[in-house]
Amino acid sequence: MTAIAHNETPELGHNGHRMSREDVEHLAQETAQDLLGVSADEAFAMLDRGELEGTFASSALRSVRFLLAA
C-alpha cells in the first residue's frame, strides 16, 4: 500500500529528496492501483464525479493531485 506523508511538499518527498514530475506521476499510479485497483486517470475521474467522497482514497488522491499541480 502506498503511504502518503502529510508533511510532503510539492518539491520534497518524505525522505527529503526532490520529487521529479515522474516520481509524482508514479505515486499517483501506485496510489490509485493500491487503493482502488484502477489507473490514476480513472481514479481522478472517480474523484471528480464525487464517487469517493468521505473516503481515504479521496483524501489520498487530492493530496497527489496537489503535488501534480505544483
Question: Tens digit of pLDDT for each residue in 37-56?
Answer: 999 999 999 999 999 999 99
User: Considering the entire predicted model, what is its pTM?
Assistant: 0.74
Domain range for residue 15? 1-32+39-70
State the Cα–Cα distance between residues 41 and 32, nearest whole angstrom.
Answer: 9
Q: Which residue type is seen at 57?
A: A
pLDDT at 18: 82
Angle 48-14-55 (CA atoms, 0-180°, nearest 5)? 30
Number of domains in the chain: 1
Return the SS3 of 49.
coil
pLDDT at 13: 58
CA dist 39 → 7, 11, 21, 53, 62 (Å): 25, 24, 17, 18, 15
Cβ atoms of 29 and 35 closer than 8 Å: no
- Listed as ranges, residues in the chain with pLDDT below 50 are 1-10
